Amino acid sequence: MSLSKILAQKVSLLDMPNLIMRKILEDFGFCSILQLRKVCRELRHFIDDSQLPPVLLESLSVQINSDMIVMEIEIEQYCPTTVYYAQCKNGCIVEWEKRREIQRILMKNVNFLAVFCNDLNGILRSANFKRLYLPQADELRRNICREEQNPNETGKLGFWKRMKACFRKMKQAREPIRSRADPDEVKSEILNFTQNILKSRARLFEVRELQMSVANQNDVMKIMPFVNRKTLREVKIVEHCYIDSFNYQTDHCLKGFELDLILPLLKTTPSIAIEKFLVTEPIETFLGFEHSYAKFERLSKEDLWKVKNKLIHSLTPISFFFIQVEKFEMEDLREVFGPVSNSGGLYGTLWCYGISGSSDVNVVYMRSDNILEIIRRTDFGYRSLYHRMGFIVH
């Protein structure tokens, strides 16, 4: 074959041997890999099939509503990059900040969710995280409407200020959308898509702190089976609530939350927090963690004894313990915890128990709204603080 014919042949980057291509990719940085995935479908498939060792990044956070998604990724500590995906009449607007300048592109005839999922696919296939917040379905609208209702509040700066400004610009740049997606459907699609990504990884997904905004434990189970339990140190589960930005309300009846499917996956995880739910599991479930946060509808006198014995007499270290109880008997509290350390007044009714040889103190606190809180206070000299306040520390 003549040299002219050889030179006339079309040769692409992918014609190189896989070993050489893989070595080239290993020298690329994380952001370069993400950019390379967007060049063409063949390169994207090759990168995904190569199963390169994932890099460890700081954090990934996703906030959603019916026609907008905000993703904040922190590649290096204290250096977050925020990307906004918004649906418009002609397609999807993507906006981000690069070199302190706002970059914006319009992707015609595509859905904002499809664009976001494509980016999320590249990120979760290529990286592990110290902290993952997925998906924060209520935070986007909540923080926007807080600022709308408090225009004179100057303390809210940074991320939410940028998000509000971007939301306003995008809203002005697009025509009204007649049919808005159901936020529940958006959240469900993101969870299902994330589950499929984590399933396809060659290695378990590694994350130290996992926070999820969910409706029930089935949402959590879409992610938890694919997480490396050896690296997981903290799990926080929050009940999702979609809030109308023109009618901001947070008071609503708390739903029950079951943990029977999740608990077997948390045997080596030291920290658990269940917020905005009423926990249906027995109190013993939370006494085995070093750090726990939960709310119960009712605790019996036997449950109160278990809590007291665990906090005061157990040799197992507990760095933080916080539970709330809606229904209880005052007679049971007096029988279990004895004389009160302080009654009435600004601080409500308290029972304080110190730990020998430690500055830690356990506080049983009956609030003015008849909610019982049982708290383990650690460090910062809480014991001497309560003494100075005139409380009796048993």
Question: Does the structure show a pLDDT above 80 at 191?
Answer: yes
- Structure tokens that stand for 35 in this block: 């950019």
The confidence score (pLDDT) of residue 133 equals 93
What are the C-alpha distances in Å from 302 to residues 17, 122, 202? 69, 51, 47
Q: What's the pLDDT at 5?
A: 59
Residue 315 has a pLDDT of 61
Query: What pLDDT, in 10s, does the model give residues 87-109?
Result: 888 889 899 876 677 888 888 88
What would the mean pLDDT of 60-84 be, rounded to a whole number? 86
Q: Is the pLDDT of residue 186 over 60?
A: yes
Q: How many CA atoms lie within 13 A of 291 on its CB side?
A: 13
Q: What is the pLDDT of residue 40?
A: 80
**pLDDT at 35 (0 to 100):** 77
* Residue 243 in this model has a pLDDT that exceeds 70: no
> 197 pLDDT exceeds 70?
yes
Q: What is the pLDDT of residue 162?
A: 52
How large a percentage of the chain has pLDDT more than 90?
26
pLDDT at 210 over 60: yes
Residue 2 binned pLDDT confidence (cut-offs 50, 70, 90)? low
Least trusted range by pLDDT, from 30-39, 272-281, 301-310: 30-39
pLDDT tens digits along 324-362: 998 888 889 889 888 777 655 555 677 777 666 666 667
CA atoms of 341 and 338, how far apart (whole Å): 9
- Decide if pLDDT at 163 tops 90: no
Q: Under 8 Å CB-to-CB from 27, ≥6 apart: which residues? A: none
Residue 294 has pLDDT above 90, yes or no: yes
Among 167, 299, 166, 277, which Cα is nearest to 219's? Answer: 277
Closest by CA position to 85, among listed 64, 61, 60? 64
**Which residues make beta-bridge pairs with 101?**
98
pLDDT, position 206: 95
User: Mean pLDDT over all residues of the chain?
Assistant: 77
pLDDT of 168 above 60:
no
**Whether the Cβ atoms of residue 124 and residue 47 lie closer than 8 Å to each other:** no
Instruction: Please choose, from the candidates 132, 126, 141, the residue with its C-alpha nearest in 3D space to the C-alpha of residue 59.
Output: 132
Instruction: Specify the higher pLDDT residue, 285 or 353.
Output: 285
Q: pTM for the whole thing? A: 0.79
Task: Spell 171-188 as b/e; 16+ CB within 10 A means b.
Answer: eeebeeeeeebebeebbb
Question: Above 70 in pLDDT, residue 190?
Answer: yes
Residue 155 has pLDDT above 50, yes or no: no
CA gap 163, 153 in Å, rounded: 16
Residue the block writes with tokens 């609030």:
367
- What's the pLDDT at 101? 77
Checking if the pLDDT of 283 tops 50, the result is yes
